[in-house]
Amino acid sequence: MYTYNDFDEAFVRSRVAQFRGQVERRINGSLTEDEFKPLRLMNGLYLQLHAYMLRVAVPYGTLNPAQMRQLAYIADRWDKGYGHFTTRQNIQYNWPKLQDVPDMLEALADVGMHAIQTSGNTIRNVTADHFAGAVADEIEDPRPVAELLRQWSTDHPEFQFLPRKFKIAVTGAAHDRAVTKAHDIGLRMVRNDVGEPGFEVIVGGGLGRTPMVGKVLRSFLPKGDLLPYCEAIVSVYNLLGRRDNKYKARIKITVHENGLEKIQELVEERFAAISEGFTGHDQALLAQIEDAFAPPAFVSQSTDGYEAARLANPAFRSWTDTNLSAHKADGYAIVSISIKKHGATPGDATSDQMRVMADLAEQYGHGELRISHEQNVILPHVHKADLAAVYQALREADLATANIGLASDIIACPGMDYCALATARSIPIAQEIATRFDDLKIEHEIGALKIKISGCINACGHHHVGHIGILGLDRAGVENYQITLGGDGTETTTIGERAGPGFSAEDIVPAIERLVTGYLGLRNDADETFLRTYRRLGMEPFKAILYPAEDKANAA
């Protein structure tokens, strides 16, 4: 794993010292809240509904056990003993006191972490496939280029005041687990005709109030050109992006308003002009970073014990069926730890749970952890011989829920429980849906299903790309929940379609239950997922299930 060098360390420490001074001046009143706001946002500090919120970056979702333990320590010492893992591979602390934040940042710096550029109109945390470096269908580990992009974008003098925030996601695999088509820049590693690795560059995707699927700007970009090409894109956006209207400021609107061709022309022009300036230093750096990401020393041992444990213990078998993914090394598996226990807050982990996960990574996982954009934690390299022990430890820590990819593995934004922008609650709705499906015991029968919930149109909960999306709104002071269907956040990204009028807080959970149990009667067989059934049949039969009374009224 990449560790900070002396330059990184000195840079982060000096930012902490600078912010400590700014906090002191805010507390003694020499800075007003208005003066302080841009300074705190440069360091990931928001003001939420009830308190400050500190957003810490987990670059490309990768953590080592010492870092995870430090996150737990910070949660205990300066917050309420838990943290919230988000869809952009960050962790958020919801209750810090202003005077403690510099100490929290100092504690992060001790383990090579920070909160720089986790807010503001800058290039945000670069995210990546959470199975990177482990998964069977990968061309190359995308994290070295993500790290290169992180170093290039951090404190980049030209890109500190972009028209709006800017998000980059990278994947090295055929199956897109990084939602690249819903990012400002999405990078998908592909091979050209002669087998060389490079990137398909996607631009202008995004959710929020105007959801858009990203468009292909370049179908093949040689790996070595990545940095000057990304610099060209962001420079063009910096010049053309709208600064007159916050809601039209993202690059998706720039691409939409100017047309893909014009953007392509300008980017290629700028790329030609600046690429000479990249004299190979970036490639030398990339080679060093790649060395730091060399795969761990995989071991070879029997998996007989694993097979026997599966036969002997149905609960373990059920967990292995849902929470494991295929690893590229023989005898290994990728473990997804669900942070979505039925009835709990999606994405929240207690400090004790963080420590358990850190211990497991150390003991059985070659010292690596990942945060997934679906708000779960991954142990990317576990030998099957160790899985029964891992499962046992997870059970004891309340972390063994066997629901990855199922109805209760819900992404939910913080909504009205925390967020100042919220117009409805998200967390209790997610909790009720998860509990309801657990009571019915039909989650496994339903199979792959992505339900995603946001508490306002900003779409932090990714509802547009949920197979079932739920958007909470305020209608004359009453919470109202709209349902979208058919969304998809993978390589076949689709924005969901609105099903019809919204539901009240009381009616939304029964409506979802009706929808999902109704799907069981519509599918061809157990292998036809909700999304595939929707794609085959379209909206109408689902609408009839959701609005039965209206259907009768229309027929009368």
Measured from each CB, the residue nearest to ligand HEM is: 208
CB of 15 to ligand SF4, least distance (A): 26
Six token digits for residue 253? 């609107």
Task: Name the one range near ligand SF4 by CB under 6 A: 266-274, 299-307, 351-359, 417-425.
Answer: 417-425
Q: Which amino acid is at 247?
A: Y
User: Is 520 in contact with 449 (CB distance < 8 Å)?
Assistant: no
Nearer residue to ligand SF4 within complex by CB, 55 or 218: 55
CB of 398 to ligand HEM, least distance (A): 21
Ramachandran sector of residue 64 (left: φ over 0; alpha: ψ -120 to 50; beta: rest): beta
Please select the residue that binds ligand SF4; options are 318, 458, 490, 533, rule is CB under 6 A.
458
Q: Which amino acid is at 8?
A: D
Q: Which does 83 bind (CB under 5 to 8 A by kind): ligand SF4, ligand HEM, none?
A: none
Nearer residue to ligand SF4 within complex by CB, 53 or 309: 53
Nearer residue to ligand SF4 within complex by CB, 49 or 260: 49
User: Is 267 in contact with 236 (CB distance < 8 Å)?
Assistant: yes
Please select the residue that binds ligand SF4; options are 44, 83, 206, 461, rule is CB under 6 A.
461
- Measured between alpha carbons, how far is 329 from 306 in angstroms, rounded to an integer? 16
Which residues inside 140-179 make contact with ligand SF4, applying CB under 6 A? none
206 binds ligand SF4 (CB under 6 A): no
Q: Which does 87 bind (CB under 5 to 8 A by kind): ligand SF4, ligand HEM, none?
A: ligand HEM
CB of 453 to ligand SF4, least distance (A): 9
Helix axes 101-109, 65-78, angle to 10 degrees: 170
Q: Which does 422 bind (CB under 5 to 8 A by kind): ligand HEM, ligand SF4, none?
A: ligand SF4
Task: Name the one range near ligand SF4 by CB under 6 A: 49-57, 210-218, 356-364, 449-457.
Answer: 449-457
- Measured between alpha carbons, how far is 213 from 206 in angstroms, rounded to an integer? 7
Q: Which of 323, 328, 68, 285 has the alpha carbon at shortest distance from 172?
A: 328
Nearer residue to ligand HEM within complex by CB, 165 or 223: 165
Q: Which residues bind ligand HEM (CB under 6 A)?
A: 46, 48, 53, 86-88, 92, 167, 182, 206-208, 250, 413-414, 419, 421, 458-460, 462
Six token digits for residue 176? 């897109």
Please select the residue that binds ligand SF4; options are 233, 456, 485, 508, rule is CB under 6 A.
456
Q: What is the 3-state secondary structure (H, E, C) of 114-126?
A: CCCCCCCCCECCC
- Measured between alpha carbons, how far is 196 from 220 in angstroms, rounded to an integer? 10
CB of 502 to ligand SF4, least distance (A): 16
- Measured between alpha carbons, how far is 464 from 454 in angstroms, rounded to an integer? 9
Q: How, if at all, do strands 197-203 and 497-498 pair?
A: unpaired
Six token digits for residue 319? 């967990």
Q: Which does 456 bind (CB under 5 to 8 A by kind): ligand SF4, ligand HEM, none?
A: ligand SF4
User: Is 268 in contact with 236 (CB distance < 8 Å)?
Assistant: no
Helix (H, G, I), strand (E, B) or coil at 159: helix
- Measured between alpha carbons, how far is 127 from 90 in angstroms, rounded to an integer? 9
Q: Which does 415 bind (CB under 5 to 8 A by kind): ligand HEM, ligand SF4, none?
A: ligand SF4
Nearer residue to ligand SF4 within complex by CB, 87 or 322: 87
Residues that bind ligand SF4 (CB under 6 A): 413-415, 419, 421-422, 454-456, 458-461
